[in-house]
């Protein structure tokens, strides 16, 4: 992984779901003025502002000259659509725990989900597009194959996993959720940011996960597990 960077931006924070990204976003708001961030004033509300690639491209065209940090649930290849040289950073998380946390989050926040089982939520086809091998997808997607941002359907092959690993190695700063404070300290030191005080955000309630579901998640997410093990060994 690159070890040094003195870039002043623009920066691209690839926010992978349930990896402490919301906590980092709060701290970025301590370091930058609202207009220096995307999403910022006039950029719309989630989920449009954080998931819709077309919205990001349109808003970048309108005020890209003032944006210093782009953040959202956008694949890394979106930087190519924005046409700029970005300093990139992201945080990964152990894949099974990331998905378990995501299932709890959906049950906590989605209408009508309060009494659904984690198995029912996991089996939902739309949720699968944001859960299964999500980290590999977000790193490996190309602009040519991307049809719907993070919801794009792809085939998870060995070649795709290797492409994701190479993309991770090419990021300017990459960390893991388990060493999140170290990751934030590295961003602050390398770029001179005042990221304010640590705090927790967007935590889902604890959920009991059956051994059967945990085994399914493990089997379904072998690509993410391979990627994570490589990043965990070399990351901040």
State pTM to two decimals. 0.92
In CATH terms, the fold of domain 11-234 is Rossmann fold (3.40.50)
User: 207 pLDDT band (50/70/90 cuts)?
Assistant: low
User: Which residues touch 142 (CB under 8 Å, ≥6 apart)?
Assistant: 77
Q: Which two tokens stand for residue 3?
A: 């070890």
Q: How much of the chain exceeds pLDDT 90, in percent?
A: 83
Average confidence score pLDDT of the chain: 92
Domain spans of the chain?
11-234
CA distance readout (Å), 133 to 155, 201, 220: 10, 23, 8
Mean pLDDT along residues 4-12: 69
User: 201 pLDDT band (50/70/90 cuts)?
Assistant: low
User: 113 pLDDT band (50/70/90 cuts)?
Assistant: confident
Which pLDDT score is estimated for 114? 79
Q: Is the pLDDT of residue 40 over 60?
A: yes
CA distance readout (Å), 121 to 54, 131, 189, 217: 28, 11, 40, 12
Q: Which of 150, 125, 130 is nearest to 139 (CA)?
A: 150
The beta strands (E) that lie in the chain are given as 11-14, 37-38, 69-72, 87-92, 173-176
Q: Is the pLDDT of residue 84 over 90?
A: no
CA distance readout (Å), 220 to 3, 35, 132, 143, 156: 33, 40, 7, 25, 10
C-beta separation of 213 from 123 below 8 A:
no
Q: Is the pLDDT of residue 195 over 70?
A: yes
């Amino acid at each position: 992984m690159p070890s040094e960077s003195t870039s002043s931006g623009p920066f691209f924070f690839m926010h992978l779901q349930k990896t402490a990204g919301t906590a980092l976003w709060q701290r970025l708001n301590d370091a930058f003025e609202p207009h220096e961030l995307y999403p910022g004033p006039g950029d719309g509300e989630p989920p449009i502002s954080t998931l819709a690639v077309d919205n990001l491209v349109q808003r970048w065209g309108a005020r890209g000259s003032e944006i210093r940090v782009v953040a959202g649930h956008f694949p890394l290849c979106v930087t190519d659509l924005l046409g700029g040289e970005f300093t990139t950073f992201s945080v990964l998380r152990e894949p099974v725990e990331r998905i378990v946390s995501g299932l709890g989050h959906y049950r906590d926040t989605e209408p009508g989900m309060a009494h659904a089982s984690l198995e029912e939520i996991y089996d939902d086809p739309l949720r699968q597009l944001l859960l299964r091998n999500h980290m590999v997808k977000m790193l490996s997607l190309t602009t040519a194959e991307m049809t719907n941002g993070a919801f794009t359907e792809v085939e998870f092959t060995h070649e795709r996993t290797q492409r994701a690993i190479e993309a991770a190695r090419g990021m300017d700063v990459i960390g893991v959720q388990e060493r999140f404070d170290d990751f934030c300290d590295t961003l602050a030191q390398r770029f001179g940011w005042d990221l304010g005080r640590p705090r927790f955000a967007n935590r889902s309630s604890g959920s009991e996960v059956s051994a059967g579901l945990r085994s399914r998640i493990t089997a379904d997410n072998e690509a993410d597990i391979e990627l994570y093990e490589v990043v965990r060994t070399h990351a901040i």
